[in-house]
Amino acid sequence: MQRPWDAKRAILHADLDCFFASVEILDNPRLKGLPVIVGGTGPRGVVAAASYEARVWGVRSAMAMAKARNLCPQGVFLDGTYSHYYDVSQQFHTVLRSFTDEIEIIGLDEAFMDVSGCQRLFGPPQVIASEIRRLVKEELGLSVCVGVGTTKQIAKLASRRAKPTISGGAVKAPKGVVVVWPGEEGEFLDPISVKELWGVGPKTYQRLQSIGVERIGDLRGVPNPTLAKILGKASSHLRLLAGGNDSDLVVSESRRKSVGHEQTYPADLSHLSQIDRELVRLAGSVANRMRKNKVLGRTITLKIRFGDFRTITRSVTLTSATDSEGEILVHLRKLFPEGAADGGIRLLGVALSNLKDGAATQLTFDDDYRRERDELSRSVAKIKERFGVDAIAPASLICGGEAGVKRNLN
């Protein structure tokens, strides 16, 4: 019989293994077993993903590409096809959503799920976790590791321990699923370095070390006033995390205050046509998620990070809320500052906030044009839902870039 889950909350953290590199290997099986490194291959490029075979050589994501080449000269270095990764990511999220809508997407390859309410339907959380792992392998051909626990922090730490490991210069197969049973949180957390807790950056870590705290177990032994003295206000939440007692919620998109999408580029964008194509893509992706979650937003924010890491945001608040891709795009183009492309762009982000429930909104527009345009947007959304996000795209995407290359649907 399945061991029952004896706690109110059951949280999963699902994380695809070296996502971009795995997609490349899946598309080109000859790369299997080789050190594959995806990222900017230009002079200032950074590693976006590395296969475990590359990690054996010390290559890590976010490392300068030049350093990765030094560590692993025999590696296979690839620029990557981000529109394709996005598409595969949508399929991954679809698998997760087939279990629950209580899902918080952290990135293309990572999400939290609150499965407390769906155990009668799908079984205890450890069974759901294994089923997710099986389905992702079967439907996407990718390996996902899943952590199970009573809090988000524990689930996250557990999924990290479900990953493949490197020992003696070889890659060891992953556990795949790691379950931290209710009541066994302390045992699991105590030996882990405090560095792995949320909110512990280099400075906090130094302060904790100064009072002899290295592991989470040490942290649990420190009296409240001592901790408050060195960490101030942050100490109480850190203590909850360390005790496995935090009540951080899985913030599903319908509960979220904004819906957004950000993309970091392996090589800085500097051509306006390239940037415009990305704006089209980001508007489409955000609108798509808003419709899926039945929300409308009034404030559109564009975030730009330049080649030198300077970051700016520009926003506009509309008179009435929207989920229309076309309307979002018009405003993004207006928000994009003249000359901003000159220094190269490293990251673009689009978010809609000031959200309201879209399902409850009645069509009160007397403007026929607007209604037609929204109906068009919705039909486009339906097509995307059935055939994938790349099945239909505005003309600028089809003519200009890789996103226009349609994937085979079978």
Catalytic residues: 110
The residues binding Mg ion (CB under 5 A) are 15-16, 109
Least separation in angstroms between CB 326 and Mg ion: 33
Q: How far apart are CA 369 and CA 6, in angstroms?
A: 55
Burial 201-220 (b: 16+ CB within 10 A, else e): eeebbeebeeeebebbbbbe
Identify whether the C-beta of residue 326 lies closer than 8 Å to the C-beta of residue 373. Answer: yes
C-beta of 61 vs 285, nearer to Mg ion: 61
> Which residues share a beta bridge with 302?
314, 350
- 258 backbone dihedrals φ, ψ, rounded to 5°: -150, 155
**Dihedrals φ, ψ of 135, to 5°?**
-65, -40
**For Mg ion, the closer CB: 174 or 297:** 174
| Contacts with 160 (C-beta within 8 Å, 6 or more apart), sequence order | 15, 147, 196
CB of 68 to Mg ion, least distance (A): 18
Q: Residue 246, Cβ neighbours under 10 Å: how many?
A: 18
DSSP-derived 3-state class of residue 10: coil
Nearest distance from residue 42's CB to Mg ion, in Å?
A: 24
The residue number with the shortest CB distance to Mg ion is 109
Nearer to Mg ion, 5 or 85 (CB): 85
- In angstroms, give the least distance from the CB of 108 to Mg ion: 9
Nearer to Mg ion, 160 or 373 (CB): 160
Residue 191, SS3 per DSSP:
coil
DSSP lists the bridge partners of residue 350 as 261, 302
What residues contact 156, with CB distance under 8 A and at least 6 apart? 13, 112, 147, 198
Least distance CB 166 / Mg ion (angstroms): 16
Cβ proximity to Mg ion: between 110 and 325 the closer is 110
The candidate with the shortest Cα–Cα distance to 18, out of 94, 109, 132, 122, is: 109
Whichever of 140 and 296 has its CB closer to Mg ion, that residue is 140
Identify any residues that bridge with 11 across adjacent strands, giving them in sequence order: 114, 149
Q: CB of residue 356 vs Mg ion: minimum separation in angstroms?
A: 33
